[in-house]
Amino acid sequence: MPLILQRLQQATKMMSRRKILLLVLGCSTLSLFIHQGAQLSWYPRLFPLSCPPLQDSPPRPKHMTVAFLKTHKTAGTTVQNILFRFAERHNLTVALPHPSCEHQFCYPRNFSTHFVHPATRPPHVLASHLRFDRVELERLMPPGTVYVTILREPAAMFESLFSYYNQYCPAFRRVPNASLEAFLRSPEAYYRAGEHFAMFAHNTLAYDLGGDNERSPRDDDAYLAGLIRQVEEVFSLVMIAEYFDESLVLLRRLLAWDLDDVLYAKLNARAASSRLAAIPAALARAARAWNALDAGLYDHFNATFWRRVARAGRACVEREARELREARERLLRRCFGDEPVLRPAAQIRTKQLQPWQPSRKVDIMGYDLPSGGAGPATEACLKLAMPEVQYSNYLLRKQKRRGGVRARPEPVVDNPPPRPIRVLPRGPQGH
């Protein structure tokens, strides 16, 4: 017990500006429930967040300007929600699309600053769907902005795209019985380059990153190498959806955030009935062959991801990822009950938490709040599970009410931004 009290005294000094609402002590665990504005914290802050602790370096202030390229069907909505909540807690301006663009920046058109609602300029954070255009983004975002994105294994991603956009993409609509196997057996029979939403049926990652999704590395290796180089010149971190928690550990380290800042609830997930339980190996090979540009991008950045983990310390990153998962489970139980489960939209009573459904053939799941909740804790839980459309609309209304002309965010001169991948040292692969 004296050791626990000693740690409590240390934590109290660290959190002198925060109000501790609930403290639960056990023989071997100590959990905190902290209120800081609308922020709730379940992560045990008595333990150092540096692993191993950085003894010679002073702690960096949190980085406040972030541009997240939200790729399609890669867990990007969950990352977006993390960034939206961080921006709200710190009173940051979030770039949001003009209403004529709906909740995306007029995708699939190349991004332009004209697509940004004037009430959300100049921004600190950007996290909605767009097609990458470096010049236009650098015109919008302040100097020192950190650029990050996320990729997903192309076969799994393509299965998700085929299911989610089956009623929107003409190439998918042409397939008899909505059969993914039939499409991949002969994709050229259904695909028409240049037609509306064609990018969802061929090398979607490359298209989102501003590349030419009609190019094939089989015919032109130099094009893939050039696209990789362009990504590495801009982005400081490329996360990997299959290693989501490890990616968030690297993200929070890159931005000098706390693990609390990257807690999340899984959003925009399909019901089991709307997805393949497992993709057969032959189908996966066909999907990667058809999306060879995406496969090349993924393979390269998956390798650089694990080199980055190795530099950070594999055991250290895995420990933080485990602590993040444990804290997330506590958070979900606190918000959504002892056995939190994803529910079909029809079973979600809270209208603000009902996810958009792309078609009657696809069920998108979400969380619901227990009845009778109120106060800051309920508000924080609501934002944790709020779907993209509702959260974007809410932030737009809030920022329009705030109104007025805001000065362009200034970079923190004594906290230089992390460097893009291209200038990071190359090390041995750690995976």
Confidence band for 11, pLDDT divided at 50, 70 and 90: very low
Average pLDDT over residues 105-133: 97
pLDDT at 218: 81
In a domain, 192, yes or no: yes
Model pLDDT, residue 25? 30
Residue 60: predicted pLDDT? 85
**Torsion sign, CA atoms 86, 365, 170, 200:** positive
Encode pLDDT of 340-359 as tens digits. 888 888 899 999 999 888 87
* CA geometry: angle 293, 296, 302, nearest 5 deg: 135
**Cβ pair 117, 97 in contact under 8 A:** yes
- How far is residue 305's CA from residue 295's CA, in Å, rounded to a whole number? 15
pLDDT number for residue 32: 36
Question: What's the rounded Cα separation, in Å, for the pair 185 and 187?
Answer: 6
User: What's residue 53's pLDDT?
Assistant: 54
Rounded mean pLDDT, 101-120: 95
Confidence of residue 113 (pLDDT cuts 50, 70, 90): very high
For the segment 14-22, the average pLDDT, to the nearest whole number, is 37
**Residue 409 — very low, low, confident or very high, per pLDDT cuts 50/70/90?**
low
Overall average pLDDT of the 60-74 stretch:
96
Any domain includes 149? yes
d(CA 39, CA 309): 29
Over residues 228-247, the mean pLDDT reads 98
Residue 39 has pLDDT above 80, yes or no: no
Q: For residue 123, what pLDDT is reported? A: 97
Q: Domain of 168?
A: 66-265+279-335+388-403
Distance set, CA 411 to CA 5, 32, 137 (Å)? 40, 33, 16
Residue 161, φ and ψ in degrees, nearest 5: -60, -45
Given this model, what pLDDT does residue 372 score?
Answer: 60
Query: Is position 372 within any domain?
Result: no
What's the angle, vertex CA 400, arms to CA 103 and CA 82, rounded to 5? Answer: 50
Query: Is residue 272 scored above 90 in pLDDT?
Result: no
User: Which of 24 and 210 is assigned the larger pLDDT?
Assistant: 210
Is residue 297 domain-resident?
yes
What is the residue-averaged pLDDT of the chain?
A: 84
- pLDDT of the residue at 411: 53
Residue pair 224/216 in contact (Cβ under 8 Å)? The answer is: no
| Residue 12: inside a domain | no
> Is the predicted pLDDT of residue 338 greater than 90, yes or no?
no
The predicted structure's pLDDT at residue 313: 93
Q: Give the total number of structural domains in the chain.
A: 1
pLDDT tens-digit map of 357-366: 887 788 888 9
- Whether 48 shows a pLDDT value over 90: the answer reads no
Residue 8: per-residue pLDDT = 45
pLDDT at 407: 61
Query: Which CATH number does the domain housing residue 134 bear?
Result: 3.40.50
Most confident of 221-225, 375-379, 426-430: 221-225
Alpha carbons 391 and 78: distance in angstroms, whole number: 12
Region 304-328 average pLDDT: 95
pLDDT on residue 18: 37
- Give the residue, 197 or 52, on which the prediction is more confident: 197
Task: Please state which of the ranges 72-76, 141-145, 170-174, 344-348 shows the lowest mean pLDDT.
Answer: 344-348
Within a domain: 28: no
Checking if the pLDDT of 111 tops 50, the result is yes
pLDDT at 165: 93
Q: How confident is the model at residue 12 (pLDDT cuts 50, 70, 90)?
A: very low
- Segment 109-128 shows an average pLDDT of 97
% the chain with pLDDT above 70: 79
362 domain-assigned: no
| Structural contact between residues 119 and 425, judged by C-beta atoms closer than 8 angstroms | no
Helices 376-384 and 314-336 pack at an angle, to 10 degrees, of 120
5, part of any domain: no
pLDDT-above-90 percentage for the chain: 66
